[in-house]
């Protein structure tokens, strides 16, 4: 793997948890700690071959015994010695074949930068309509037999079926969620962490995608 680094508009990290810090004025600032992990370009997508331009980045290093042979072959083709297990694409306007095998740089994410963070939301398991969709529910009186149920879901004769996407009990969470326009508070490359102001999607030790804000410069 080459020592040179490539500037990308996004990278992948690990949500390590939340804490708080105090700024120079003594104000309390809640922050989320993002663990910085290597993001290495494992494939270059070109318009001629693939129909679009993008970089495929590999991350999440694992023991060689936990990575399949096809993945090892894919990494070997890019001259990457580290065995990564996760792959994602970052779209680019212009790509270069020389970037293959190089690590992503964090130069574009200094403190005070506005970023968007994407990740899978926390899983809540099976949930009813009141928790899942904030339904009001029925009367809480003792005589009522309608407390937390969803109520009627359709008519018998017309249309004689339940419409698709009807709000009903089901699996809550584990959906791709994005929080926009949050600020980078600190970047410590030596210790391998980034502090961002406020909360971000996902559970502890989950992967998150951090990218430059699309609404703020």
Residue 113: pLDDT above 90? yes
The rounded distance, in Å, linking the Cα atoms of 7 and 103 is: 9
Residues 100 and 156 in one domain: no
Determine how β-strand 5-7 pairs with β-strand 103-105: parallel
Number of domains into which the chain is organized:
2
CA dist., res. 191 & res. 181, Å (int): 25
Listed range (2-16, 47-61, 99-113) with the worst mean pLDDT: 2-16
CA dihedral 153, 154, 156, 157 (to 10 degrees): -170
Same domain, 90 and 154: no
91, 47 Cβ separation under 8 angstroms:
no
- Residue 208 domain flag: yes
Single pTM value for the model: 0.87
Asked whether residue 90 falls in the same domain as residue 165, the answer is no
Asked if residue 99 and residue 28 are part of one domain, the reply reads: yes
pLDDT over 70 at 217, yes or no: no
pLDDT, tens digit (0-9, with 9 covering 90-100), for 161-203:
999 999 999 999 999 999 999 999 999 999 999 999 999 999 9
| Domain extent for 58 | 5-123+173-212
- DSSP reduced 3-state for 49: helix
Asked if residue 149 and residue 81 are part of one domain, the reply reads no
The answer to whether residues 40 and 57 touch, using CB atoms and an 8 Å cutoff, is: yes
Q: Is the pLDDT of residue 1 over 60?
A: no
Q: Residue 17 is part of a domain; what is its CATH number? A: 2.40.30.10
The answer to whether residue 3 scores a pLDDT higher than 80 is: no
Residue 123's pLDDT is: 94
SS (H, E, C) 10-22: EEEEEEEEEEEEE
72 and 164: one domain? no
pLDDT digits (tens, 9 = 90+) for 114-137: 999 999 999 999 999 999 999 999
What span, in angstroms and rounded, lies between the C-alpha atoms of 11 and 18?
Answer: 20
Q: What is the mean pLDDT of the chain?
A: 94
The pLDDT assigned to 143 comes to 92
Is 132 found in the same domain as 57?
Answer: no
Task: Name all contacts of 45-49 with Cβ < 8 Å and 24+ positions apart.
Answer: 45/89, 45/95, 46/95
Same domain, 188 and 145: no
Between 6 and 3, whose confidence is greater? 6
Q: What average pLDDT score do residues 77-82 get?
A: 94
Reference 110, options 185, 10, 163; nearest CA is: 185
pLDDT given at position 134: 96
pLDDT value at residue 158: 86
């Amino acid at each position: 793997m080459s020592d040179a680094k490539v500037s990308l508009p996004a990278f992948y990290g690990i949500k390590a948890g939340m804490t708080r810090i105090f700024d120079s004025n003594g104000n309390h600032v809640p922050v989320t700690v993002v663990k910085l992990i290597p993001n290495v370009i494992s494939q270059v997508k070109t318009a001629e071959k693939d129909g679009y331009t993008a970089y495929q980045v590999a991350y999440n290093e694992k023991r060689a015994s936990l990575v399949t042979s096809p993945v090892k072959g894919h990494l070997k083709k890019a001259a990457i010695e580290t065995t990564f297990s996760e792959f994602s694409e970052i779209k680019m306007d212009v790509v270069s074949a020389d970037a293959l095998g190089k690590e992503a740089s964090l130069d574009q994410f200094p403190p005070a930068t506005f970023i968007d963070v994407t990740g899978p939301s926390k899983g809540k398991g099976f949930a009813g309509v009141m928790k899942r969709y904030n339904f009001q529910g029925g009367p809480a009186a003792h005589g009522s037999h309608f407390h937390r149920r969803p109520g009627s879901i359709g008519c018998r004769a017309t249309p004689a079926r339940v419409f698709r996407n009807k709000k009903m009990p089901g699996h809550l969470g584990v959906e791709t969620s994005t929080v926009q326009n949050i600020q980078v508070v600190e970047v410590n490359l030596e210790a391998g962490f980034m502090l961002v102001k406020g909360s971000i999607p996902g559970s502890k030790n989950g992967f998150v995608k951090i990218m430059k804000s699309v609404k703020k410069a």
